[in-house]
Amino acid sequence: MQIKQVQINLNAPIGQLGEVRKSHVLQALGVPFALQPAPIPGFVAYVDPLHRRRVMLAEHQIIFIHEGDNISPDLRDAAWVLVRTRDALLLDDRFVAGIQWIGHHEADGAATELSVERFLRLSAPEIRVLFEQSLRGIGLRFTYESPPFTCDLRIEPFYADTAFFFIQFNAAHPQPLSLETILMRATEFGEYMRDEATEVLNALLQE
């Protein structure tokens, strides 16, 4: 399993982001972060191209994203960035959180074929007939509870490169939690992605 991305969404009443508040956040984050146009309308983006990290802010949300070739579940960098952002904005330490991890798993060029053959009880020819031979793959979604979070794990062929399976893990909780608790659970979920999610996929692919 190669972990490619982690995203942490923090929802809270942040308020308007005037030039003074934007400047405070930029000073708190320091080099190599720079203020750049955000890809999402209504957001302000602070980007660290060296480490492929970014923080996006709006009136009701903070989004932290870290991308890489095989990033670690250790979120000390994320904690440093989010604590400094929270403090620069003078926010209370209570957030409604959404957590997402994305990974790729080697499939030796056969993710589409393996998903069709192993993910359903129907035979591969029967499945393909149902879709008039246009089937590109089969995905699975597992929804479960990891209190207080509701989680789902999604596994499907990575259509941009069928040498891999695309694996996405999401966790959400509707009630506010402290940033420390959110980051602790996000780290646990990252370790789950690296270890247990790999075991789930391997079990599905066994003949």
Q: Per-residue pLDDT tens for 112-131? A: 889 988 887 777 788 778 88
Question: For the purposes of burial, counting CB atoms within 10 Å of the CB of 155, is it exposed (0-12), middle (13-18) or buried (19 or more)?
Answer: buried
pLDDT interval class at 18 (50, 70, 90)? very high
What span, in angstroms and rounded, lies between the C-alpha atoms of 46 and 65? 11
Sole residue written with tokens 């999604």 = 154
Instruction: Name the residue range of residue 42's domain.
Output: 2-205
CA distance 100 to 6: 6
For the chain, report the end-to-end CA distance as a whole number of angstroms: 20
pTM for the structure as a whole: 0.91
pLDDT class of 207 with cuts at 50, 70, 90: low
> What is the reported pLDDT for 97?
97
Q: Please tell me the total count of domains within the chain.
A: 1
Q: Which residues, listed in sequence order, are joined to residue 144 by a DSSP beta bridge?
A: 151
The residue among 13, 10, 165, 127 whose CA lies nearest residue 79 is 10
